[in-house]
Structure 1
Amino acid sequence: MCPSLKRNSSRSRSRNRPGSFWFSSLSPSWLSALAVLLLLWLYLYLDRFGYAAPLPINGSGPSGTRPVALPSDPELGNLPLLNPGPPTSRPPPPPPSSTDIMATPNPPKASKPAVTLRQGAYVGSTILATSYFPRPVDAFRGIPYAQTTAGQNRFRPPQPLPASSQTFDALRFGKACPKEGRIAPDTGEDCLNLNVYRTGPGLEGTLRTAKLPVIIYVHGGGFNAGCGIERNMAAFVSWADDDMIGINFNYRVGALGFLPSALTAKEELLNLGLRDQQLLFEWVQENIEAFGGDPDNVTIMGLSAGAHSIGHHLMYYARAPKGAPFAKAILESGATTARAVLIPTHPRHLIQFEEFLAAAGLGSVPEAEVFTRLRELPLQTIVSASKAVWDRYIESVTWPFQPVIDAANTTGSHSAPSSLLNSTSPSSNFSTSTHHPPPPALIPDLPIHSWRQGKHLRIPVLTGYNTNEGTIFIPGGADTNADFRAFFTGLIPSFSAADLDALEKLYPDPVTDPNPQANPYRDVPSGKGRQWARLDAAYSHYAYICPVLQTAHFLSTDIENQHSVHVYRYAATAQWGTANHGDEAPVVAHDVASLGGGRLPGLLAVADAMHGAWARFVVSKAGDPNPPSPEKSDDGVVAWPTFLSPFSPSADGVVREWTGTVRRGETPAGETGQLLVFGEGNDERVATLRAGQEGVSGVGGGGWKEWFASLVGAGKTGLREGTPAKVGMLSEVELAACRFWWGRVELSEGLGNRGIERERAKL
């Protein structure tokens, strides 16, 4: 095993930083000239070395960043993609055998990393150590985990791959799943593939004797966009002190992955994108030992829709006969109680389904022929129709094509079948010999009901949120109190006038406030309406912050849960001077290329702290993100306290505060409401974005463009590095907001009877 870069001194992470380059002391004028030359070099060599343009991380928000992945050999850029070739590029489609699943654990040593699986042998590449990748990483890109979803597999559950003795190149990313209304060259229905990144063996090439911890990233995108490579897992693995394996993958989004309707329920085709994710988890269990991974130490990590998905899996696998194919979970800015989880026959979904069929030219097709015709349509027609419906609901944030209560994939009862097992912990004996059909329901009830009934896994969880989660979703021009009320009336039709009045008092109007100087929502960026900051706070609490804290609350007050919960808040500011939804993504990955290329020392310190904590959580079987020292580690992380809910457990859903500091309904055990705050006071990205990147999102960074902008902006004053990490407390504003939103979660999550009647009236 190669020696790891342990943080045994304050220089352990700074040795290879781009910020330590020889030109760091040059004057701004020299830096500007150098930047022009670098820009010319980038244009000449960008495509050859595997860089790509930013990819969207959110359906309605700005773009995130595609990971930077430098191949070890320049000629790799001339090799074809793994999957989009002729039919011989992947195993043929016959059904697989249910036996002989396990793969060869130790393939022969070769000049390039190779692995032998039941579905075939794969030859990868090695990303060599650079200032962006301090340790070499073995990369296996574009490996399929299911058959193509085209043709008769469209609008069907994912199909496992058959056995094969062929050898395939795993050198380039596979196709991403279709999204955004057009078919790009790197997208297609043969998109269910993954990328595996493993800490490289180093110069010694020694064989490992211990199995490696595994982390799987589930991408975001509002269930309508996104792809696995939005999170740079190569960087995540390379910067980790300990050897590990990182995985990202694609699943179906938009109408192809989530098309709720009465007909879809009747055909048992709901929540296909979540089924894709579950097949990937099973694939990892069956194959990860071939890469040297530990199937009993798997962490799943998701952002936004990826975190929402993980929340559903926490509940599903508590009932699954085979137990959970993962042992720990990280949920960034997402939870099952976020926004709305409706029944497939809810009027909103019925309306959107009819709009989709009309946009696809199938508005008058008999019900019995709908899915047959949908499978025959050109892919562009499907994707364009999906985008047309999506565009109608962006401003109201009442998005189409979402996970729904499947209730045994029928239109019957919402109650979970009593025959399902109620396992409360992940199984170390996860069966890999047979591909079992899924239990009858993936989401059998409103998630809030499952939480209250204790129908969820009890495993280590790390979760948190960003200070300004709502900025990229809310309408920028909202200017009056009427605009504020109209937004939430459309978002939650079941809200009564009394609910809206209470909402107004909780978030006072900055325009009519008799004491405007004390109003926290008075300051807005140029070009935004006067209600912008107010809407951001209210929507942030409604859609992200309070659902995240609700997950932490239920886990920390569950007397049967013996595992810790850790909560964070990300506070480093970017576009609009706010900490926006998804801004933490490149920081967690320690993706230096997306963090100013090393020219933002404060943000790199935040990345050291945040990535270090995430990596320790992955490695520790107990899910402990804390450093070995009880005080402080070399990456800047102070001791991270376990989250203890400031609210008492309540089966009836009424939120009550503790009178003291108590845990799980028993005796005092610590201070409640503590969390770790990352990047407080850091505003370096605000300045770099203004130095030529106005309009580039803070979501996921600007990639090489932001790095270039940071060079031109070098030497500008006003940059604050802030504090990498510090212990904080939930504020009174957050506590009051959660009292309000938790008390109305059924109205929001299921839209209630009033909302259903109001929607039905539109039919």
Structure 2
Amino acid sequence: MRYAAPPLEDLRWRAPVEPLHTGTVEKATRFQPVCLGIGMHYPDYSHDEDCLFVNVWSPANATPRSKLPVWIFIQGGGYVSLSNANWNGAEVVQKSGHNIVMVNFNYRVGLWGFLASERVREDGDLNAGLLDQRMLMKWVKEHIASFGGDPDKVVIHGASAGAGSVAMHMVAYGGRNDNLFVGAMAESVFFPAQPFVPELEYQFDRVIRQTGCSKVARPKQIACLRSKDVAALQASNYAQPFPGRSQPPMPLFYWTPCIDGDFLRDLPYTLFRRGSFVDVPVLFGTDTDEGSLFAPNTATQPEVADFLANNYPKLTPNDTAAILALYSPPLPLLPGHAPWFPTASRAYGEATFTCPSDNVLNHLHAFTELTDSLFVYRYNVLDDDNLALGIGVPHLFEAAAIFGPDNIGPTAARPSYKTYNAPMVPVLMAYWISFVRTLDPNIYRVKDAPKWGVWGEDMERLVLETGNVRMESTPQDERARCQFWQGLGDVMEQKQ
């Protein structure tokens, strides 16, 4: 179903608007196109600029009087693509005893969602992709009762960039509570560099050069871009080196949210540190080896330094030297990988996912009035195929257990979830469903599953491991490394 008008032509790089009322019944029996991501060829039958669609799964017998809790899932993809499109919510609805409504949706990414410049602000809106997400939440507020959902019992849940988006909605508009959600779940909070608008003028300049709009007078440049066809703009939707970096490989995440002074009034960490956030129960967590799917197969220390600088271009040689010292000596070798891959993997994973989560949680703990509602996990389910590939317990490996291994795409889940890791599926699904229903993962947890304790001074978290689910305190060495990354916050544009 459409939740917003097609963001085409004059609606490009503007906040989403209500779809036109057609006066007819629209068939909503198949998935619609997903938003165009970075580096995709156009045309593509499964992706398009016209992509602001929402999917809803609800019990067949639900009515507006059902008042069921609502689970909104925000996709990841690093803000440059949508990696978790159209995940099937039918199983979690069924396993909840038909006591929830599940929602997922598309939002603009890459150039289409995060092109930034004062020229965009002058005749448009910055962070259009985040505004799409906010529009979806308002759509749920207005319409979810028709599907049996309770608009006052909405939990938002994101994976990777979706998890980073969850954090940003908590601090949006300076932490203003618009009563759009009552709880927040985040798998692997993703905080890349999040620049201020003046730092991103170079991206806009590149796009107008590549599309032939650079010779147009400044006030008309955004109009020139809006006049271009989809293929011409999509041809500029690709990764390029950050300023000061010229050699490959390209940055992993070229387009990201910017600090626009409105939706994001400062760097997200700064807002959390000030206590400027919507105070709701949270369920946050990360995987043991967050960086293993992103790190290059580095053979030397200089290659590690180059990789980090290519993705966080304000890092100086002194900064990368300090990082290498922190992560030395090299970690044990992993199958199929060069000697310094484990170091690159751990450093990037902690800088970009693990430590953002830990540090946000510490800020939440310092200010929240809900100290008994901070639920944190470390996912450590071992899979033989992953171990053989040398990637350990990688980014978002828990997703298949949360939604069911048949529901997140044909290649996303490992076969072990149907064999020796199968016992973890009902455990995770029950914890997550319980949080959606009650804002507490313990109420409807499976029989004999341990009680999930809360994050406190010792940074306690639940370890999710096949046959050994348990609580642990965050190790001191991880805490020290996260304090180190916090000290680099200004340089990383993750100021904390």
TM-score scaled to structure 1, two decimals?
Answer: 0.60
Equivalent in the alignment of 2:192: 339
- Counterparts in 2 of 1:146 and 1:229: CA distance versus 1, 3 Å: same
Match of 1:624 in 2: 440
Kindly indicate whether the alpha-carbon contact (under 8 Å) linking 2:72 and 2:155 is maintained by their aligned counterparts in 1.
yes
Query: 1:503 and 2:323 equivalent?
Result: yes
Gaps in structure 2 of 5+ consecutive residues? none
Q: Which residue of 2 aligns with 1:529?
A: 338
Query: What letter is aligned with 2:290?
Result: E
| Equivalent position of 1:175 in the other structure | 33
Pairwise mapping of residues 298-309 of structure 1 onto structure 2 (< 5 A)? Answer: 298-309=154-165
Q: Which residue of 2 aligns with 1:146?
A: 4
8 A contact 1:317–1:324 mirrored in 2: no
Partner residue of 1:372 out of 223, 227, 234: 223
The CA distance in 1 between the partners of 2:366 and 2:124, in whole Å, is 36
Instruction: Give, in whole Å, the separation in 1 of the partners of 2:85 and 2:461.
Output: 29
Structure 1: gaps spanning 5 or more residues:
1-142, 408-440, 511-520, 646-671, 680-721, 753-763
CA change 1:231–1:549 in 2 (3 A) is: farther
Partner of 2:402: 588
Aligned twin of 2:304: 484
Please tell me whether the aligned partners of residues 69 and 437 of structure 2 are also in contact (alpha carbons under 8 angstroms).
yes
Q: Matches of 1:192 and 1:495 in 2, distance apart?
A: 36
Name 2:273's counterpart in structure 1.
Answer: 452
Find the residue that maps to 2:224 and give its secondary structure. Answer: helix
Helix, strand or coil: the match of 2:219? Answer: helix
**1:569-718 superposed matches below 5 A:** 569-573=378-382, 574=386, 575-592=389-406, 595=413, 600-620=418-438, 623-627=439-443, 633-634=446-447, 637-645=449-457, 672-679=458-465
Q: What residue number does 2:85 align with?
A: 229
1:725 aligns to 2:475 (yes or no): no
Q: Please name the residue that 2:210 is paired with.
A: 359
Contact 1:242 1:619 in 2 (8 A): no
Q: How many angstroms apart in 1 are the aligned matches of 2:124 and 2:175?
A: 19
Query: How far 1:319 sits from its partner (Å)?
Result: 4.4
1:171, CA displacement in angstroms? 0.4
| 1:195-242 deviations in Å (ceiling 9; x for gaps) | 0001333xxxx8685411100011011111116635332232223245
Distance 1:395 1:231 in 2: 31
Give the number of aligned pairs.
482
Whether the aligned pair in 2 keeps the contact of 1:356 and 1:389 (CA below 8 Å) is: no
Q: Which has the higher helix share?
A: 2
d(CA) in 2 for partners of 1:191 and 1:501?
44
2-structure distance, mates of 1:274, 1:373: 24
The alignment partner of 2:236 has SS state of helix
State how far apart, in whole Å, the 2-side matches of 1:230 and 1:390 are.
31
Provide, for residues 562-595 of structure 1, a one-character-per-residue CA deviation record: whole Å limited to 9, x for no partner: 5511111111242434111122222211233654
1:614-634, Cα deviation, whole Å (9 max, x unpaired): 0000000xx100145xxx733
CA distance change for structure 1 residues 285 and 394 in 2, over 3 Å: closer, same or farther? Answer: farther
Which position in structure 2 is the counterpart of 1:325?
Answer: 180
Secondary structure at the aligned position of 2:114 is classed as coil
Matched AA of 1:248: N
Take 1:612 and 1:317, find their aligned partners in 2: how far apart are those partners? 33
Counterpart residue identity of residue 195, structure 1:
N
The equivalent residue for 1:281 is 137
**Secondary structure at 1:602 match in 2:** coil
Cα distance change on mapping 1:326 and 1:389 into 2, 3 Å: same
- In the alignment, the residues of structure 1 paired with residue 31 and residue 370 of structure 2 have an alpha-carbon distance, to the nearest angstrom, of 40
1:556 aligned to which of 359, 365, 389: 365
For 1:302-332, what per-residue CA distance to the aligned partner results, in whole angstroms no more than 9, with x for missing partners?
0111111111110116644x72311101011
Asked if the contact 2:279–2:368 (Cα under 8 Å) also holds between the matched residues in 1, the reply is no
2: CA distance, partners of 1:150 / 1:144: 14
* Alignment partners' CA distance in 2, 1:311 and 1:170: 31
Query: For residues 724 and 618 of structure 1, do their structure 2 counterparts lie closer, same or farther at Cα, with a shift above 3 Å needed?
Result: farther
- CA gap of 1:677–1:395, structure 2 versus 1, over 3 A, is farther
The Cα of 1:597 is off from its aligned counterpart by 6.7
Q: How many Å separate the matches in 2 of 1:356 and 1:563?
A: 48
**Residue equivalent to 1:313:** 169
Q: Give the counterpart letter for 1:332 in structure 2.
A: E
| Pair 1:741 & 2:485 matched | yes
| Partner-residue secondary structure (3-state), 1:301 | strand
CA shift for structure 1 position 474: 1.6
User: Distance between the aligned counterparts of 2:341 and 2:34, measured in 1?
Assistant: 34
Question: Structure 1's 586 and 246: CA in aligned 2 closer, same or farther, altered over 3 A?
Answer: same
The code of the aligned residue for 1:678 comes to L
* Match in the other structure for 1:541: 350
Partners in 1 of 2:323 and 2:440 — Cα distance? 38
Tell me by how many angstroms 1:493 deviates.
Answer: 4.1
Matches of 2:280 and 2:247, distance apart in 1: 36
What is the CA–CA distance in structure 1 between the aligned matches of 2:379 and 2:98, rounded to whole Å? 24
RMSD: 2.6
Task: Trace 1:360-439 onto structure 2 (pairs within 5 A).
Answer: 360-387=211-238, 389=240, 395-397=249-251, 399-407=253-261
**SS at the partner of 1:294?**
strand
What whole-Å deviation, never above 9, does each CA across 1:100-127 have from its counterpart, x for those lacking one?
A: xxxxxxxxxxxxxxxxxxxxxxxxxxxx
Q: Deviations over 1:116-147 (max 9, x none)?
A: xxxxxxxxxxxxxxxxxxxxxxxxxxx10011
Bigger shift: residues 240-249 or 325-334 = 240-249
Amino acid at match of 1:580: P
Query: How far apart in 2 are the matches of 1:739 and 1:226?
Result: 31
SS at match of 1:171: coil
Q: For each residue in 1:263-310, what CA deviation from the matched residue of structure 2 results, as whole angstroms up to 9, or x when unmatched?
A: 223334210011111111000000011111111110000011111111
CA distance in 2, matches of 1:496, 1:388: 22
Distance 2:254 2:28 in 1: 35
The 8 Å contact of residues 241 and 250 in structure 2, kept in 1 or not, is answered as: no
Residue 741 (structure 1) shift: 0.9
State the 1:534 CA deviation.
0.6
Q: Deviations over 1:540-575 (max 9, x none)?
A: 110000000111111112154455111111112424
In 2, the alpha carbon distance for the partners of 1:275 and 1:559 equals 26
